[in-house]
Amino acid sequence: MAESVAQRFYVQPRSETAHANVAPRQQGQLAIVARQLRRNRGAMIGLILIMAEILIAIAAPLVAPYPPLQQSVKHALQPPSRLHWFGTDDIGRDILSRVIYGARISLRVGLISVSIAATIGTTFGILAGFHGGALEKFIMGFADILLAFPGMLLALAIIAILGPGLSNVMIAVGIGSIPTYIRVARGSTLSIKGCDYVTGARSVGCSDARIMFRYILPNVLPPLIVLMTVGVAGAILTASGLSFLGLGAQPPTPEWGSILNAGRTYLRRAWWFAVFPGLAITVTVLSMNLLGDGLRDALDPKLRR
Amino acid sequence: MNRSRILAIMLVITVILSSACSSPQPAATPTTAPPAAGSPAATTAPPAADQPVRGGTIVVSHGQNVSDTLNQHTSTHTTSRMVAHHVLDTLTAVNPNDGSIHPSLATSWEVSPDGKVYTFKLRTDVKFHDGTPFNAESVKFNFDYTMRDDIRHGFAWSALGGTSFDRTEVVDSSTVKVYLKAPNAAFLVSLSDGGLGIDSPTAMQAGGEDYGIKTLVGSGPFKFKEWVKGDHITLVRSDEYNWAPDIFQHSGPAYLDEIIYRDIQDVATRIAALEAGELTLATSTEPMVAQLRGNPDIQILLTPKAGTARMYTMNLGKSPTDDIRVRQAIAHAIDKAALLGLPAWSGIGRVAVAPIPRNMVPNGDLSAVAQYDIAFDPAKAKSLLDEAGWKVGSDGIREKGGQKMVVDWAITAASVPQVEPVEQMLRDVGIGMNIRTGDFNFWISECEKLNYNMTLMSDSGYNTLFLLDEFWQSESAGNWQAYSNPKFDEYLAKALAGTTQQEIWNNAMLAMAETMKDVQGVNAWEQDYVYGASTALRGVAYHEIGWPFFYDAWLSK
């Protein structure tokens, strides 16, 4: 998510022509939002940390001091040192390298599961809000059923059906967050549906699909972007939780949650084993939430300074 | 096949238990195991000057106590036997130090020449905790009950021989005859198991459905007081107890006033409770117990597990482990000694040389089969794989005909620390590893479907023939390796029909050698049961399985 957020706010405002035919109020707003965001220190810290993490994840083979799977029986449970900044695990693997490679996995899980949820949820949310009637009742009923289950429980149930594994975790976490997107997209659609430009589009003979895609979608996006940013954090946390329970990433994959779980046994003998992957999760989730909060404030006209 | 089903159930149960406490299990020859390098020698024997004193309550946690019932006729849960054995006496008793069979409720016995009829003389001075006398009728009632077809067949049913058990006949009040349909070389040993403890028939009839839940009445050194499900089981001393078998250090009533078994499933929590003084003894794991070393208030108790060695078994029915050269290569690639040095083992246990550990065979002598054990030799592994046509690919993993050499593992999540270290050893010779983990049900179902190449396997029990049969007999339902070798079946059948120890063991060794020549798996290590205990706890004995037995135990002030 972070990438698209960055592009949206730092690249797009400068290439105004590319978007000349999109709903006109979008343009000026983006510039305002970017300015607002830049003033929010928390959000900027979050953004910088996430950008750094993305860079590290991409450059993992260059920055990681060791291959993440390389064991060394003789160097098990070594405390942090110059050779191993984050120490080693119970079979002598370098924890720093595993945490770095783990960033790839966590970011991927976060992005993919949020993409699944946002794509499906937004589509159905707009459909429900735009068409109303029986379709809306059906979609919202479905969303309410999903919402009735606590997210983790739902994910566990889906994993129980699909079997453990990282891709199934992405699907499970994705499905679990669909209803939130449905509700938000539907709510925004309902308020936009009556706008003059939508009526105008309809009166010149635009198809329903075109109206939804070209006129409604861009205008329901702002709250969804906030939701997605925070959603990535939630997805990473849930996925780590599932891996912690042994249902997510399979060994020897360096997933943060599973490293944390392995380190739990040695918490008193080797604090570094659990603490560093735990810190990685904390920092990532915190950054995402800071950025999400900042975006929410920036996108809300009432909160603008 | 009925017998096979029972075998499978039994395996399931023992594994549930082992996964519940995330590895170590109870088992056989009681001893204080060899201390790991640098650790204080574990000891169970009280210093000579100390005299046992009476009184005190101990609080014990083996993880989850019992999930089904304490009624041994229907229970399939290993911990249930461990607890119930304190309440129920058995016909025989096995001295865990040398495997010798001693009288307990039975004072003597005779076996017919064909090995099918056992005549037991019984003690006449024994009373159950409810005051009713123990006699031949009690034995018949218990065995008849176990063999009933309208109850769930538990461990007891298979321990009596399952379908090969015939009937029980009362000769007079102190003599009972047991008829078997086929000889069972392990029968007298099985009778010493808590699972075949004798319950009071009166109490069983009175208790009905609640027997084993709200009541449990035997003639053992402790009486059942209460069981609060999910929380604790309390046993109290029986002051009338005066018929201890001579395998113990003393006779008469037990020393302890009370034993409380608490349910604490998480091993880290158990160890924390032990260190806080809330527990007297806790079942532990190797890495957890290693952190107790150096704590002056805690002693580490180790006892070799009765059962098979811990094995990385291989499925002969699925490529690439269907090729013996690949299996040999895998065995050559795994450095068992290095594994034991890792924190997951913490130096506890011994490198195995056969599927059955030394503590399970007479005099610990495995020399008849040790020659078939495959030594760590990565160079040999590589040449075997080359020979089998697996060439090293660009990423270091071998391939043949477009297929990557990836060995598929299906294991429980709890086994990960003991499987993950193998990954590097195999990769070093060009074998990739795909690990799939899940809960116990996932693991069992993958094994049953033979949908894996390798897994971490073992079972507990003190009956070697039973274990060999369970794993490798070609028709056994517990044979999850697609192993079928007529020679093995033949040697095992001879061992089961054997009438002398020599005949039994010679054939058992020959059978074992077959599995080793076929490289049915990597016999990795001999496991110890691992307990942490307060240093105030003295005189813990282990019964044949390797579980702590508290009849001789006492608390020093």
**Other beta carbons less than 10 A from residue A133's beta carbon:** 8
User: Mean pLDDT, to the nearest integer, of B446-456?
Assistant: 95
Which DSSP state fits A68? T
Are the Cβ atoms of B416 and A90 closer than 8 angstroms?
no
A164 in B contact zone (CB under 8 Å): yes
B428 in A contact zone (CB under 8 Å): no
User: Mean pLDDT, to the nearest integer, of B243-265?
Assistant: 95
User: Mean pLDDT, to the nearest integer, of B131-152?
Assistant: 94
State the pLDDT at residue B486: 97
The CA distance from A22 to A52, in Å, is 32
User: Mean pLDDT, to the nearest integer, of B339-346?
Assistant: 93
Choose the weakest-confidence range: A200-214, B204-218, B514-528. A200-214
> Which three-class secondary structure state does DSSP give residue A275?
helix
**Other beta carbons less than 10 A from residue B124's beta carbon:** 11
Is A229 inside a domain boundary? yes
* pLDDT tens by residue, B300-315: 999 999 889 999 999 9
* pLDDT tens by residue, A286-304: 999 999 999 988 887 776 5
- Provide the β-strand partners of residue B529: B303
The CA distance from B351 to B337, in Å, is 6
State both tokens at B10: 């039994």
A286 in B contact zone (CB under 8 Å): no
The CA distance from A126 to A124, in Å, is 6
* Structure confidence at residue B18 as a pLDDT band (50, 70, 90): very low
Which residues between 399 and 418 in chain B have a beta carbon less than 8 angstroms from any beta carbon of chain A? 413, 416-417
Cβ neighbourhood burial of B333 (10 Å; 0-12, 13-18, 19+): buried
The CA distance from A87 to A77, in Å, is 7
The CATH architecture to which B310-526 belongs is Roll (3.10)
Nearest CA in chain B to A268: B291
B24 in A contact zone (CB under 8 Å): no
The CA distance from B187 to B183, in Å, is 9
Helices (H), B148-261: 155-159, 187-190, 201-207
Is A12 inside a domain boundary? no
Are the Cβ atoms of A252 and B420 closer than 8 angstroms?
yes
Sequence letter at residue B536: A
* Rounded to 5°, angle at Cα B545 from B544 and B551: 60
This prediction has a pTM of: 0.80
User: Mean pLDDT, to the nearest integer, of B417-444?
Assistant: 92
Q: What are phi and psi of B548, to 5 degrees?
A: -65, 135
State both tokens at B112: 């017919």
Calculate the alpha carbon distances from B294 to A265, B47, B185, B297, B534 in Å.
Answer: 18, 20, 45, 9, 13
Nearest CA in chain A to B271: A265
User: Mean pLDDT, to the nearest integer, of B508-530?
Assistant: 96
Are the Cβ atoms of B288 and A265 closer than 8 angstroms?
yes
- Cβ atoms of B58 and B259 closer than 8 Å: yes
B contacts of A76 (beta carbons < 8 Å): 342-343
B515 in A contact zone (CB under 8 Å): no
B442 in A contact zone (CB under 8 Å): yes
A contacts of B343 (beta carbons < 8 Å): 76-77, 90, 266, 269
User: Mean pLDDT, to the nearest integer, of B543-548?
Assistant: 80
pLDDT at A18 over 50: no
Q: Where are the domains of chain B?
A: 32-305+529-555, 310-526
- Provide the β-strand partners of residue B122: B106
pLDDT at A218 over 70: yes
Distance of CA B479 to the CA centre of its chain: 18
- Cβ atoms of B347 and B339 closer than 8 Å: no
A157 in B contact zone (CB under 8 Å): no
pLDDT at A8 over 50: no
Q: What are phi and psi of B247, to 5 degrees?
A: -80, -10
pLDDT at B187 over 50: yes
The CA distance from B97 to B99, in Å, is 6
pLDDT at B79 over 90: no
- Enclosing domain of residue A277: 20-304
Of A77, A91, A269, the CB nearest to B421: A91
pLDDT at B511 over 90: yes
Is A76 inside a domain boundary? yes
pLDDT at B262 over 90: yes
A contacts of B423 (beta carbons < 8 Å): 69, 71, 251-252
Nearest CA in chain B to A71: B424
Nearest CA in chain B to A68: B424
* pLDDT tens by residue, A147-195: 998 888 888 999 888 888 889 999 999 999 999 999 999 999 999 988 8
Nearest CA in chain A to B341: A73
The CA distance from A237 to A224, in Å, is 19
The CATH architecture to which B32-305+529-555 belongs is 3-Layer(aba) Sandwich (3.40)
Is A11 inside a domain boundary? no
Is A206 inside a domain boundary? yes
The CA distance from B55 to B257, in Å, is 5
The CA distance from A121 to A186, in Å, is 9
State the pLDDT at residue A246: 79
A199 in B contact zone (CB under 8 Å): no
* pLDDT tens by residue, A34-45: 888 888 999 999
The CA distance from B170 to B166, in Å, is 14
* Structure confidence at residue A25 as a pLDDT band (50, 70, 90): low
Which residues between 246 and 275 in chain B have a beta carbon less than 8 angstroms from any beta carbon of chain A? 267-268
Helices (H), B315-373: 324-333, 336-340, 367-370
A90 in B contact zone (CB under 8 Å): yes
Q: Which of B452, B437, B450, B436 is nearest to B480 (CA)?
A: B450
A269 in B contact zone (CB under 8 Å): yes
Q: Mean pLDDT across chain B, nearest whole number?
A: 88
- CATH code for the domain in which residue A283 is found: 1.10.3720.10
State the pLDDT at residue A1: 39
Nearest CA of chain B to the CA of A82: how many Å?
A: 22
pLDDT at B379 over 70: yes
* Structure confidence at residue A13 as a pLDDT band (50, 70, 90): very low
ipTM reported for the complex, 2 dp: 0.80
* Structure confidence at residue A27 as a pLDDT band (50, 70, 90): low
State both tokens at A184: 């938000």
User: Mean pLDDT, to the nearest integer, of A71-76?
Assistant: 91
State the pLDDT at residue B143: 96
* pLDDT tens by residue, A78-117: 999 999 999 999 999 999 999 999 999 999 999 999 999 9
Q: Which of A159, A242, A265, A267 to mutate to test the interface with B (most CBs of B within 10 A)?
A: A265
Are the Cβ atoms of A268 and B291 closer than 8 angstroms?
yes
Calculate the alpha carbon distances from B458 to A272, B15, B293, B524, B525 in Å.
Answer: 33, 8, 27, 10, 10
Residue B106: in which H helix or E strand, if any?
A: strand B106-111
**Domains held by chain A: number:** 1
pLDDT at B35 over 80: no
Calculate the alpha carbon distances from B162 to A143, A178, B5, B14, B264 in Å.
Answer: 54, 54, 11, 18, 34
For B50-195, list the strands marked E by DSSP.
57-61, 92-94, 101-103, 106-111, 117-122, 165-172, 175-180
* Rounded to 5°, angle at Cα B51 from B46 and B54: 110
B contacts of A268 (beta carbons < 8 Å): 291
Choose the weakest-confidence range: A247-251, B160-164, B459-463. B459-463
For B504-551, list the strands marked E by DSSP.
521-526, 528-534, 537-538, 541-542, 548-549
User: Mean pLDDT, to the nearest integer, of A70-81?
Assistant: 93
